[in-house]
Amino acid sequence: MANPLILREGDPSRLVELRRPVADALAAAGVVQVALTDRPGWWEVTPGTQIGVVSVAGLQVVIEPKIDINRLMFLMGYARRPDFWRDDRVRLDADADLPEALADAFVRLAKRALEQGLLKGYVTVDETLAVLRGRVREADQLRRRWGRSIPLEVRYDEFTVDIAENRLLLAAVERLLRTPQVGVRHRGGLQRLRLILSDVTAPVRGGARPSWTPSRLNARYMPALELAELVLDGRSFEQRVGDLVVSGYLFNMAKVFEDFVTVALREALKPYGGRSRLQYATHLDEDANLPIRPDFVWLEEGRPRIVADAKYKAEKPSGFPQADLYQMLAYCTVLGLPEGHLVYAKGNEDAHAHVVRRAGVRIVTHALDLDVEPVKLLATVAELVEILVSSTEREPAFSGRLHG
């Protein structure tokens, strides 16, 4: 395989020599933006907010995150389970590509989890049997076997290794084995894990992810389970474009950032009471034909008091260079709030405050530095929440309708 093309998410475009089919395949996969130049065979390649690794026709494209990979794992993990990810129990190799780093850490943590053998638990089984086991499912027995004594429709609890925790580990093993960018060094370890988990039901591609609840019984599994969920969060894909196959394993930094910010705001606001709503559903118009969903709304006694949107980077579509501000003005108008907040990643947008003419609405932009230690980042969010709460003391500048 040729030397990889290494890009960094959000960086300016680069001139890259590519064959036309390869350039078309990368563009069709939506991984990077590809534009033809005046120089034959050379293309402008611009990374967006996707990070990970993509392969096509022997070319490997590595899109690195701006932040350290362990900072990235913290953002993703905290959004899933804030209590667990306050600790530093899951460490990845910061010098490795994302799929390799995930595979390395997962094999290590899964082996540690399984050192004492597979975790067992009780699973409720519905089955048709010739003998009674457990209890009869009377409704099913009458509906399916009216007038017959056997077979029996029964339900019983079985003590087994085929439980959600082991299914989740196996699902992560299968996902990593299907990722072409995971090298031979880790495939042996993954195959051994698959063998250990051979009595566990294999995951169905596209099926629901096994759900588990932290407890004293599965404590030794927890680091591996948390990492398994992050492995499954990645978008693993393979698609054909013309005669070429594009495969990859990617995360969307914009989604990672949005999930972290909204969950971190919710956690930091808990001491203030009220109720936090993520992806708050409402409508822009009185006829309820135009749905809108602010990323975060905090309510007191059922009344919206804070509205915030997480924006990894500013949206500036052609002709609408301040699209984020227009969007937040609409949210404030609908919710009857005098102030709205836009939270960006530091380096992608600066902190400002804007007062909208003739409306009196104040739109404040904030910038979070993602490259600091997790404890400091959470402290910054707590400081931001103090600012947001103080904004609730302002009286609404309008009644929900703009005039003139």
Count of C-beta atoms within a 10 Å radius of residue 243 = 8
Indicate if the pLDDT at residue 309 is higher than 90: yes
Rounded to whole angstroms, the Cα distance separating 266 from 297 reads 9
- The lowest-confidence range among 98-112, 175-189, 343-357 is 343-357
Q: Which amino acid is at 393?
A: E
Indicate if the pLDDT at residue 401 is higher than 60: no
List pLDDT tens digits, range 4-55: 899 999 889 999 999 999 999 998 888 899 999 999 999 999 998 999 988 8
pLDDT of res. 1: 52
Whether the predicted model's global pTM rises above the 0.85 cut: no
Rounded to whole angstroms, the Cα distance separating 172 from 196 reads 14
> What is each CA distance from 317 to 237, 320, 365, in whole angstroms?
28, 5, 18
Which of 404, 400, 278 is closest to 334 using CA atoms? 400
Indicate if the pLDDT at residue 354 is higher than 70: yes
pLDDT of res. 313: 82
Rounded to whole angstroms, the Cα distance separating 332 from 322 reads 16
For residue 117, what are the contacts with CB-CB under 8 A and spacing of at least 6? none
> What is each CA distance from 286 to 37, 291, 334, 400, in whole angstroms?
48, 11, 10, 11
**Binning pLDDT at 50, 70 and 90, where does residue 266 land?**
very high
Q: Provide, for the chain, the percentages of residues in helix, strand and coil under a 3-state DSSP scheme, each rounded to the nearest 5.
A: 35, 25, 40
H or E segment and range at residue 307: strand 303-311
pLDDT of res. 403: 35
Q: If you average pLDDT over residues 355-364, what whole number do you get? A: 92
